[in-house]
Each structure stands twice: as C-alpha cells, then as structure tokens.
Amino acid sequence: AVRTRRQIIDHDRVASYAFAFDIDGVIVRGPETIPEAREALRMLNGHNKYNIKVPYIFITNGGGKSEKARCKDLTKRLGITVTEDQVIQGHTPMKDLVPAYKNVLVVGGVLDSCRKVAQDYGFQNVYIPLDVMKWNPSVTPYYQLSEEEQKVARDVDFSKISIDAILVFADSRNWAADQQIILEILLSKHGVMGTVAQDPSENHVGLYFAHSDFVWATDYGLSRYGMGALQVSIAALYQEHTGRELQVTRFGKPQRGTFRFAEKVLSNWRRNTLEEHVENMNLEDEEDGDATESEDEAGNDAEGITLQKDSKLLLELPPASTVYFVGDTPESDIRFANSHDSSWYSILVKTGVFQDNKTPKYQPKHICENVLEAVKFAIEREH
C-alpha cells in the first residue's frame, strides 16, 4: 500500500547512524569477494527487519585506480550501486596538493594507471618511474623495461626537469627501481635526476605516501608487505645515506586529515540518501493523490528533518549519531576509528589482517567474525 509522507518518515526512515567500511580484508581479499559482504550491504540498503536505510561509505587505504573504476568494481562484486561520492581511497585527499606542485613523480600501481589518476585529479605534469627508466636505462642497472612498459613510458629529458614532489599513490610493483629513483630525487639538487645536493637546503622535494599500512590482506594465507613497509625501507636507506631522518607526509587511515575528509564525504552522502528517500516519498504521495494533505503536515522529525509548505525538504542535518567503522587492521582501521571522534564505533573483523590468536594492538569496541555479523550486531544495537 502507498503510504503518506508522514507515515514513511515515522516508520520507514533513514537511519540517524551510519557505516564506514574498510575494503581489503573486509569486503574483498585480492580477486575474491568476501562472501558475506553482499548480504551485509543489502541489509543496509533497507532489506532488514526494520525496513530502515542506513547510509554507508567506503574508506580504503588502497588505490592505483580512479575512484570511478573502484566504484565499478565494487558495484559488480556486490550487486549494488556504489557511487563515487561513497568512496575514499588512500590517494583521494591528495587532490588537495594540486595547487602546491607543478612537476610530480607519481609512484605505484600497474603501468601508468596512477599517472592517469593524478592527471584526473588535475596535476599538471605527472611523471612516473618508467619515464625515468626510459630516459636513462642505467638508472636501474638490473632492470630493463618490458615492451608493455616501454609503450606507456614517455620521452622526457629528466636532466632538465625539477621534480617538486614525490607522491606514492599505490603499492610499488618494482621496489628496487622505485626506491633507487625516489632516493636519488630526495638527494638531488632541486629534484633534478643525475645531480647531488651539497647541502640539505638545496633539496625541498616533498615526499607523500597515500597510507602507511605495513601489511595488508590479500588472497594469500599470510599478510603481505604494504606501502608502510616500503616507507620503512626508504627511511632506513635515507638515514644510512645522510644520517638524517626522512620527512614524510602521510595520508590514509589512521591520519587525522583523512578522517576530516571522510567526515565531509559521509555527511554529504547522508544528505544524498535522505534527499533521495524524500524524493521517492514525494513520488509515492503524488501517485496517491494526497500531495495537498502532506503540505499541511509541516513539521520536524527526530532527526532534524523539516518539511516545509512547498514540500521542499530543509535538511538541518546533525552529525550521524554513531558511525560504525568496520575494519580488519588494528593499526590503521581501529586506531583511525578510535582516535578522532567518540561517536565512531570500531568493529574489528577476522577476515583480513587481524588473526584471532593475537591481541589487537588497538582495542576495538567490538570483534566480529565478518562484515555481515558486524552489520547485524550494529543494527540490533541501535533498535
């Protein structure tokens, strides 16, 4: 039966709480989709015993592809529509660096995938290590470019380019070559390959990492080294070489900058979900022919939703009452959810990095077998 707007708002509302999900080790493991993930998200889309829609976003430290490509992949795996406004990858907040740097070296990902992402973000001149290796193969004496790599590498004279910043976007596919090139640029005179700074004041190249995960969960039984491990390795080499500590700016979880970014994304997404819900509601009212009746029903509901005379919704959206963050890595996910806002509720699952026989380094508010159990637990806790 078609319900009036008031009935829908009272009985079939959008939740005041919300979810944020980690991806690797919670939703996927390498090429495999974690079986319970589909049902978990279906429940949040309203298929639960309370008929309530619960807004959710994804916060992954992963990357190497555009946000659009990531959504396409999640949409296909999960059988739901995931949009770009719902996804934050490790390198997403690096968009904010566009005005700061003209020439950037972007590291990581398959072939030139990260060059494309950085260009989409608006970076002006984006170089990748393969360009450097094409320019002068002697830079990496034990590695020759494959045919495929030759094709995507650009012809650039790096003796005439001053690299302003190095942005590690995704996991390196060639640690030896990437480390060699990163170190050379960090030790160079003003970011020019083939030169050596005589004094630290001659080098102001910024070094940024999309995240610092030491390990991460794939479809292999044990965790694999991640970008954080590369960072440790580069820092050790830099220290050995210069005696100085490496200066790095980190993004991703558990960094505060990423948390602020995530809060903005979540708030916009909650607004979207509410607006979409009310739009559907309006359609139902019109079909029901009771549009005039609902105009008389101006009022507020408990979540701060105001229905006005012209049927327009004024959203004075308060922050989510609780944000359930489901992750598999205590050091990044649980630390992230525990440290920035007390309304975030951390749930650790056992499908990724965390192993049941160990005590997590950062204590979650709750531990679950998998993402579906986490969603069920949170919904029951709320109702």
Among 22, 67, 131, 149, binds ligand G3P (CB under 6 A): 22
Q: How far is the CB of 231 from ligand G3P (least distance, A)?
A: 12
Cβ partners under 8 Å of residue 154, min gap 6:
127, 131, 134
- For Mg ion, which residue of 14, 18, 24, 112 counts as binding (CB under 5 A)? 24
- For 48-106, the three-class secondary structure string (H helix, E strand, C coil) is CCCCCECCEEEECCCCCCCHHHHHHHHHHHHCCCCCHHHEECCCHHHHHHHHHCCEEEE
| Beta pairing partners, 233 | none
C-beta closer to Mg ion: residue 127 or 325? 325
Of residues 56, 216, 259, 336, which one binds ligand G3P by CB under 6 A?
A: 216
Select from 55, 191, 226, 364 the one that contacts ligand G3P (CB under 6 A). Answer: 226
Token output for 340? 């920035």
- The window from 23-31, 101-109, 201-209, 360-368 that contacts ligand G3P (CB under 6 A) reads 23-31
Q: Which CB sits closer to ligand G3P, 191 or 252?
A: 252
Contact call for residues 78 and 23 (beta carbons, < 8 A): no
Q: Each residue of 211-249: b (16+ CB within 10 Å) or e?
A: bbbbbbbbeeeebeebbbbbbeebeebbeeeeeeebebe
Closest to ligand G3P by CB, 123 vs 354, is 354
Task: Please count the residues of this chain forming the interface with ligand G3P, following the rule CB under 6 A.
Answer: 12
Out of 328, 331, 344, 360, point to the residue binding Mg ion (CB under 5 A).
328
- Taking the least distance from each CB to Mg ion, the nearer of 98 and 215 is 215
24 binds ligand G3P (CB under 6 A): yes
Q: Which option in ligand G3P, Mg ion, none does residue 226 bind, with CB closer than 5 to 8 A by kind? A: ligand G3P
Sole binder of ligand G3P in the list 213, 285, 331, 373 (CB under 6 A): 213
Instruction: Characterize the bridge pairing of strands 103-107 and 165-168.
Output: parallel
**Please, which residue, 131 or 213, has the CB nearer to ligand G3P?**
213
Helix (H) or strand (E) holding 227: helix 227-242
Please give the structure tokens belonging to residue 6: 């008031």
Q: Does 171 bind ligand G3P (CB under 6 A)?
A: yes
SS3 68: helix
Query: Least distance in Å: CB of 335 to ligand G3P?
Result: 12
- The piece of 8-16, 20-28, 187-195, 296-304 that touches ligand G3P (CB under 6 A) is 20-28
| Locus of tokens 């030139």 | 112
CA distance 252 to 259: 8
Residue labelled with tokens 């005696």: 243
Residue among 49, 47, 53 at smallest CA distance from 13:
53
Name the one range near ligand G3P by CB under 6 A: 18-26, 155-163, 234-242, 305-313. Answer: 18-26
- Note whether 281 and 5 are within 8 A (CB): yes
Residues in 53-82 that interact with ligand G3P by CB under 6 A: 60-62
Mark 184-203 with x for binding to Mg ion (rule: CB under 5 A) and - for no binding: --------------------
CB of 88 to ligand G3P, least distance (A): 10
Cα dihedral 88/90/96/97 (nearest 10)? -160
Picking from 269, 261, 250, 260, the residue whose alpha carbon sits closest to that of residue 340 is 260
23 with 57: CB under 8 angstroms? Answer: no
Which residues contact Mg ion (rule: CB under 5 A)? Answer: 22, 24-25, 328-329
Which residues contact ligand G3P (rule: CB under 6 A)? Answer: 22-25, 60-62, 171, 213, 216, 226, 329
